[in-house]
Amino acid sequence: MSRKRRMFDIDIPEEDATDFPAGKVESRRGPMAAAISETAESARDRAKVEAQIRAENDALAQEHVRLKRAGLITDMIALDAIDAHKLIRDRKPVADFELAELVASIRDVGLSNPIRVEPAGEGRYELIQGWRRLSAYRQLLEETGDDETWGRIPAGIAARGDQLESLYRRMVDENLVRKDISFAEMAQLAVHYAMDPLTAENDPEKAVAILFKSAGYQKRSYIRNFIPLVERLGEALLYPQEIPRALGLSLSQRLDEVPGLVAAIKSELKDWDTRSITDELGVLRRYAGQGAEPSAAEDAPRPAPAAPQSAAKAKTTFQLQRPQGSAKCTAANGRLEIRLPRDFSAVDRRKLEAAVAAMLDQIE
């Protein structure tokens, strides 16, 4: 049985040939072609949007890095996550009478100026600026036990990579703004900078030129004159920050001129832990010639045979490379110091004592 082919008539509407430009025929797209075209257009639009988003994200990332490097990215950082080992501070661990005022101010109105830290890895941060503000928060936490209020401090997080000299300069310039910073404290900072194993300069007087570029020539000269005082008497003084400029300059000069003067001052101040600022300054004025001079027979111990002035100022410095970094060593009369980027308080006390005893036995 044969099948009959069915024929379908398709009526195409007739159109005037003049509706089409010469040489062109209107193309007719089916549903599939239209879908493909729409998909391509959508993909181009999506790619354009994605490119705009990536450009915006790149700009935001660059702005974040810029703000972070400027220390303008602020977060609440736990106090126990902040270390203060990178920069040797200018203030001795003695009574800070103005800290109580800062504590009271922060307790009443809060912290108006965040501290500044940089990431140290493993969730820890290194303090760059704000030692007294951090100390105030720690005191408030200790006094109140309120970890929710005082256990975290606002901190500007700076990007890592700033040179150590720049960090010291920032700390110095911030302190210079304060009216209460003394010449003894500035001289002590120069001494600490020279002793820091991570700095290239070993001479405290040259360190003054590095750290105090913003200060005038005369002020830098005063700081240098205080260096012998803090180097030779710093450990014996409770209130070095209270020494007036004139007294410090006079006393520093007398230390070089009068043999045995350092030993005499240390002897008088030894074990006198209850002395006041007035008491200590009175002793220094007497030995500086600004008050009653102590008699050689009564107050001042008989000095040892006089040594040449150059011997009194003699000091040996050298560096040793250790696995933890460069150890900066300073040997002087009655003092041997080792500066190394390591927390010696974490070493077992008995092991530390044995090591120091063995070292002293070797140099006997």
**Residue 234 carries which side chain, given as an amino acid letter?**
G
Q: Decide if pLDDT at 207 tops 80.
A: yes
Helix axes 131-144, 99-109, angle to 10 degrees: 70
CATH architecture of 174-302: Orthogonal Bundle (1.10)
Q: Which whole number is the average pLDDT over 229-249?
A: 89
Which segments within 44-157 are labelled E, that is strand?
A: 74-78, 82-83, 115-121, 124-129, 152-157
CB-CB contact of 185 with 102 (8 Å): no
Tokens 């101010």, located at residue: 105
Which two structure tokens, joined as six digits, stand for 282?
A: 């009175």
Residue spans in the chain of domains classed CATH 3.90.1530.10 = 49-162
Q: Residues 17-63: pLDDT tens digits?
A: 455 555 554 556 666 666 677 777 777 778 888 888 888 888 888 87
Which two structure tokens, joined as six digits, stand for 100?
A: 């109580």
| CB atoms near residue 149 (< 10 Å) | 12
Q: Which whole number is the average pLDDT over 333-358?
A: 78
Residue spans in the chain of domains classed CATH 1.10.10 = 174-302
| Burial of 277 per CB tally in 10 Å (0-12, 13-18, 19+) | middle
**Residue 346 carries which side chain, given as an amino acid letter?**
A
Q: Give the full edge-to-edge strand order of the sheet including 335-339.
A: 315-322, 325-332, 335-339
Q: Which whole number is the average pLDDT over 336-353?
A: 79
| pLDDT band of 101, cuts 50, 70, 90 | confident
d(CA 230, CA 307): 21
d(CA 225, CA 245): 10
277 vs 311, which has greater pLDDT? 277
CATH class of domain segment(s) 49-162: alpha beta
Tokens 């007497």, located at residue: 286
